[in-house]
Structure 1
Amino acid sequence: MGILSRTSYVIRSKINALLNRAEDPTETLDYSYEKMRDELQQVKQGIADLTTQKKRLEIQKRRLEENVEKHNDQAREAVRQDREDLARQALQKKQAKMNQIEELDAQIAGLQETQDSLVQKKNELQGRIEEFRTKKETMKARYEAAEASSRVSEAMSGVGDEMSDVGRALERAEEQTDEMEARSAAMDELVDEGAFDEVLSDKDAIERELEAGRSDAEVDTELETLKSEMGKSSAPAEDAESDSDVDVESDVETDVEADVDVADEEVEAELEELRSEDESS
């Protein structure tokens, strides 16, 4: 097989495959049915034309028959008038008309046979068309049912084009959702770590470290205060010594305060005596 032959064969094969995929059996059946109906219509039109021609010949035959009767009357009248020559002419015309009538009879008979044959073929064709129409509707119903069943099966199995598109859309949506969730989690983590606070703050690294140290010191102080209030201490030995010193100082302060209270009472008593003497005098 030469290159051109192989190329032609491949091209025809491709075209045939494309036509098979593009062909809709229901449309093909409808087209075939319409073609058969067109043929039936043409047959009916042919029968009608043939019938018209036959009717024209029959009309012509009737006119010739009328002329034959007319020429027969003319010949009789000529004989009564002793005009043999006129009678002969009338009879000759009568004979010519009768010959034409015979020819018309033959033509009319032939047209009638053709008409009968066409009518029979028309009836057979019409019967075939009706039978084909029944089969066509049955085949269309079967094809549409099979097509619907195939679509349902494809939808159930997810192998159809539309279901594949839906599946791909769901996958893309899921990927985008996962990406957005991961991005949101990363942003929350950065916010918790204070990454954005450092970026937006005007303080340098040293100031931030100093503030962190002060904050730690304040936290330690507050923690020690809480421990003191709850009777706990982080350094027991030192706290014991400091507690003894505090107790001695407290005793000294108490004695001083007692002495001050006694002196105040004596001064008040003397002032009261002086007031009484003044009033008596």
Structure 2
Amino acid sequence: MGIFSRLADIVNSNLNAILASAEDPEKMIRLIIQEMEDTLVEVRSQAVRTIAERKQLERRARTLLQEEDEWQRKAELALSRDREDLAKGALAARHAVVQSRESLERQIAQVSEGLENQNDDIAKLQSKLADAKSREKSLAMRHRTAQGRLKTRETLYDGRMENAFSRFEQVERALDELEGKAEVYDLGRRKGPSLRDELASLESDVAVEDELAALKRRLADRRSGVPATRTPESETHGLDNDEA
């Protein structure tokens, strides 16, 4: 079983458990990333063991290759001494070693192929993990935004909100009535002078003061024997007296 099929089984089983318990998507995303990270660690550990196994097989293959050369040397030595029987025995031993070495080399080839597949899977898993981490924040932000919008909509369309606002209106009407009762006491009561009245009174005071000052000057002039300066008002009063 490949690591991706195994990872899919693990994630799907956990996702089903999450969906069944109605967990939030942020936990789901975090779980997927955690499973991918754990799987990546496990696959790398397997690759380390596989590499160690291949090194061991390669050492055995090199040892068998040395044995081949040794049996070949012995066969040539026996044949050079006219010991064909020993030469045949050495060649038979060499043949057995060759078979063992070729079997090891086939194992080494299988292990190397497995390592290449693991390397490809690890590269793909690392890419998927990096993509998941880059999308984690975006998905989490979308989830929180959707939750906020949902809560706002639920609040806006909640019947209790309408009841609350209707109660606000009732309170406002009650306050209007209370303020009206307070203002009733001021009805019919005389208020202080208005701005217009105050300005008119000021103008009247100024005119009276001017006339009083003019009268004082005329009286002072009479006492001192200086003919009084006739004002337009006095001339009018004098004309009236002559006519009388």
TM value normalised by structure 2:
0.50
Q: Matched residues in 2 for 1:84 and 1:144: separation? A: 88
Give ranges in structure 1 of 5+ residues lacking alignment: 1-15, 165-281
The aligned counterpart of 2:218 is none
Shift in Å at residue 43 of structure 1?
Answer: 2.1
The farther-off stretch of 149-158 and 69-78 is 149-158
Shift in Å at residue 154 of structure 1?
Answer: 8.8
- 1:86-142 deviation line (CA, Å, top 9, x unaligned): 222111111111111111222211221121112112211211111111111211133
Give ranges in structure 2 of 5+ residues lacking alignment: 1-15, 165-244
The aligned counterpart of 1:102 is 102
Mapping for residues 171-186 of structure 1, pairs under 5 Å:
none
Report which of the two structures shows the higher radius of gyration computed on alpha carbons: 1
Change (3 A) 1:101 1:155: same
Mapping for residues 1-281 of structure 1, pairs under 5 Å:
23-147=23-147
Shift in Å at residue 47 of structure 1?
Answer: 2.1
Percent of aligned positions with the same letter in both sequences?
A: 26
The aligned counterpart of 1:11 is none
The aligned counterpart of 2:185 is none
Q: Matched residues in 2 for 1:36 and 1:112: separation? A: 24
Q: Matched residues in 1 for 2:57 and 2:22: separation? A: 53
Change (3 A) 1:83 1:21: closer
Q: Matched residues in 2 for 1:74 and 1:148: separation? A: 86
- 1:242-275 deviation line (CA, Å, top 9, x unaligned): xxxxxxxxxxxxxxxxxxxxxxxxxxxxxxxxxx
- 1:9-57 deviation line (CA, Å, top 9, x unaligned): xxxxxxx9x9778512212211111011112222222222222222221
TM value normalised by structure 1:
0.44
Q: Matched residues in 1 for 2:82 and 2:41: separation? A: 61
Q: Matched residues in 2 for 1:107 and 1:21: separation? A: 47
The aligned counterpart of 1:176 is none
Q: Matched residues in 1 for 2:19 and 2:155: separation? A: 26
Change (3 A) 1:19 1:101: closer
- 1:138-172 deviation line (CA, Å, top 9, x unaligned): 1113333455677789999999xxxx9xxxxxxxx
What's the C-alpha RMSD, in Å, of the aligned pairs? Answer: 3.4
The secondary structure found in structure 2 opposite 1:66 is helix
Shift in Å at residue 64 of structure 1?
Answer: 0.2
The secondary structure found in structure 1 opposite 2:29 is helix
Q: Matched residues in 1 for 2:33 and 2:85: separation? A: 68
Q: Matched residues in 1 for 2:125 and 2:63: separation? A: 37
Shift in Å at residue 67 of structure 1?
Answer: 0.5
Change (3 A) 1:120 1:98: same
Change (3 A) 1:82 1:126: same
Change (3 A) 1:38 1:90: same
Which is bigger in relative contact order (C-alpha 8 A, separation at least 6)?
Answer: 2
Give 4+ residue runs of structure 1 displaced > 3 Å after superposition: 18-22, 144-159
Q: Matched residues in 1 for 2:82 and 2:136: separation? A: 79
Q: Matched residues in 2 for 1:80 and 1:21: separation? A: 84
**Residue identity in the other structure for 1:122:** I
